[in-house]
Amino acid sequence: MEINRAIRTRRSIGKVSESMPDPQLIEKMLEAAQWAPNHHMTQPWKYFVLTGEARNRLGTVMAEIKAETMSEEEQQTEANMDRLSRERKKPLRSPVVIAVAVTPSDDPKVEEIEEICAVAAGVQNALLTAHALGLGAIWRSGKPTYHPRMKRFFGLGERDTLLGFLYVGYPSILPKERPRQALEEKVEWWDQ
């Protein structure tokens, strides 16, 4: 797929089929992610590919994090039991979930924000590649992503950061085109 077309037609696909993508397609996505620009070539990305039962284990952690905000009594109400059940099932929305983490360099000349930006750029490469390969994907995050329990689940260190989850599969919906603001509203040209 031509790059400008891929950029303009890629959309977040929140509904995918249960059909498991060929692992080689997932590897192509992750290989593309590795080609992101990265100051000092520290390559701070780390990916965890979850399929099958691993998605249920992730769902359990998500539900445990959600339950922390509720008292024991609140957890037992029917409404909250439903909420916790929905939380537990979130990773089952796609056959593949890729957790994306930043493991920043200890080198004092490396700025941590640049490490985060490099991994985010890698995610964009992965999403564009998924689109070009006929896959649907969406990058999801939210408060549970940044919870210490989630870091422990993935064995991340103190300085590491989980940036979110890529839910990947074959699209089961056609996404709507979403308009962008006029470029003139977002760009200032300076010549002095």
What CATH number should be reported for the domain holding residue 140?
3.40.109.10
pLDDT at 1 over 80: no
Contact 26, 97 (CB under 8 A): no
Confidence of residue 25 (pLDDT cuts 50, 70, 90): very high
Q: What's the pLDDT at 156?
A: 98
Structural domain includes residue 102: yes
Answer whether residue 132 shows pLDDT above 90: yes
| pLDDT of 175 | 81
Judge contact between 136 and 172, C-beta under 8 A: yes
Is 58 a member of any domain?
Answer: no
Whether residue 5 is annotated as binding a ligand: the answer is no
Closest CA to 103 of 27, 32, 38: 38
Average pLDDT, the chain: 94
Domain span at residue 152 reads 3-50+92-174
- Alpha carbon separation from 54 to 16, 51, 94, 117, 125 (Å, rounded): 18, 6, 12, 28, 25
**Would the annotation count 86 as a binding residue?**
no
Query: How many folded domains does the chain comprise?
Result: 1
Is 10 labelled as part of a ligand binding site?
Answer: yes
pTM score of the predicted model: 0.91
Asked whether residue 81 is domain-assigned, the answer is no
Is 39 annotated as contributing to ligand binding? Answer: yes
Question: Does any domain span residue 63?
Answer: no
